[in-house]
Structure 1
Amino acid sequence: MTQSQGPQKPPHELVLLTKPGCHLCEAARRTVAAVAGELGLPWAERSILEDPALEARFAEEVPVVMIDGVQRDFWHIDPARLRRLLLA
């Protein structure tokens, strides 16, 4: 019989906020997909144009990485920083 290590910590909620035609969003999508894939984490992408509140808040900052509902990075997404944040 093996002992349980206790409850597993749920994975972070990882969301990439983008908008159509954004060249920085293309690069961010590749970075997020690679890091999340490496760590085995699910992630989602949302267009700020689908939500007026998001569009008003992030119009000049996309792409934006949100982790657990908190803005953690924008414009140029650094894979090493993203990895550190997700492993914390």
Structure 2
Amino acid sequence: LQRRHTLEALRSPQVDLSAPTACDADPMLVRAAMHHGEPLNHDCPVCESPRLALLRHAFGHQLGQYSGRIRTLDELEEMEHQFGEFHV
């Protein structure tokens, strides 16, 4: 609820809130995006940074130790044939 309130405040003309304050991505997530993310062609919807990236995490019991790791689209397509059901 607090995050929703912050995002609503960012769009409200009555509240003086800077976009970088509202954009609160976890530092580990930001680092992962810098090194493993797939660059996107649009800006961040919160802070309007042009450095928006997509991360894909794969989860599933059948993935074992590989569950929760970041995967590229090519890796996910390959995993589709090797493993049973998993979620991205």
TM-score, normalised with respect to structure 2: 0.27
TM-score, normalised with respect to structure 1: 0.27
Say which structure is richer in helix: 2
Q: Which has the higher contact order (CA 8 A, sep 6+)?
A: 1
Say which structure is richer in strand: 1
Which is higher, the Rg of structure 1 or of structure 2? 2
